[in-house]
């Protein structure tokens, strides 16, 4: 395996493990909610006037999936929908008090994860950070251009399954 492959494999493993650990913790603290629900709540909590389409774009999921997800969150009383007087099509979401409470618990877990991995990041110098950031940004721009070339809407359903939550 060459260095390019090695690096991508290592980072993939990294994210798989992080996801595994995060969902492990979440299944203990937030038994009745799955990761998708939690991340959806998180996004709605942070972004005013979230709607199905914005959520779909953010999570690389279909509008269909988000539509069902938000419906469930409404039924569970975690979010509520509202509309604007001048638009009868778009439906926005905001957190209920109960949703905000869940969000707090999740934020706490997030902080714990940061604390857990603090030791690793402390040993990374500014310069090393910048090298990695620069690489990731360049690679991202390159891929954006490649996706652009195809001229396809990324939420129109060319998906594999659950994507990595942002």
Partner DNA sequence: AAAATATTGTTGACGAGGACACAAAAAATT
Partner DNA sequence: AATTTTTTGTGTCCTCGTCAACAATATTTT
Which residues contact its own copies by CB under 8 A? Answer: 3-4, 6-7, 9-21, 23-24, 27, 34-35, 60, 114, 116-117, 119-121, 123-124, 128-129, 131-133, 135-140, 142-144, 146-147, 150, 152, 154, 158-164, 166
- CA 55 to CA 108: how far, in whole Å? 23
Nearest distance in Å: CB 155, its own copies: 11
Q: Using CB under 7 A, which of 41, 44, 61, 102 touches DNA?
A: 61
Question: Are 36 and 162 within 8 A, CB to CB?
Answer: yes
Q: Which is nearer to its own copies, 71 or 142 (CB)?
A: 142
Instruction: Considering only residues 20 through 49, tell me which ones interact with DNA, judged by CB under 7 A.
Output: 34, 36-37
According to DSSP H, which parts of 30-125 are helical?
Answer: 35-46, 52-59, 63-75, 97-122
The answer to whether 70 contacts DNA (rule: CB under 7 A) is: yes
Longest Cα–Cα distance of the chain, Å, equals 59
Angle at CA of residue 41, ends 51 and 80, nearest 5°:
60
Nearest distance in Å: CB 127, DNA: 38
Nearest distance in Å: CB 128, its own copies: 5
Q: Phi/psi at 72 (nearest 5 deg)? A: -65, -40
In terms of Cβ atoms closer than 10 Å to its own Cβ (0-12, 13-18, 19+), residue 53 is: middle
Nearest distance in Å: CB 152, DNA: 11
* Contacting residues toward DNA, per CB under 7 A: 34, 36-37, 51-53, 60-65, 67-72, 86-92, 156-159, 161-163
């Amino acid at each position: 395996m060459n260095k390019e492959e090695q690096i991508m494999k290592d980072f993939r493993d990294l994210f798989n493990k992080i996801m595994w650990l995060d969902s492990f913790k979440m299944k203990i603290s937030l038994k009745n909610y799955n990761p998708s629900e939690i991340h959806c709540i998180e996004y709605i909590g942070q972004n005013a006037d979230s709607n199905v389409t914005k959520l779909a774009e953010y999570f690389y999921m279909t509008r269909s999936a988000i539509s069902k997800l938000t419906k469930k969150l409404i039924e569970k009383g975690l979010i509520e929908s509202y509309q604007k007087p001048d638009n009868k099509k778009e439906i926005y979401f905001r957190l209920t008090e109960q949703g905000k409470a869940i969000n707090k618990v999740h934020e706490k877990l997030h902080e714990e994860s940061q604390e857990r991995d603090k030791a690793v990041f402390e040993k990374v110098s500014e310069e090393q950070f910048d090298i990695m950031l620069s690489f990731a940004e360049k690679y991202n721009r390159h891929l954006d251009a490649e996706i652009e070339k195809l001229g396809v809407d990324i939420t129109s359903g060319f998906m594999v399954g659950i994507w990595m939550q942002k």
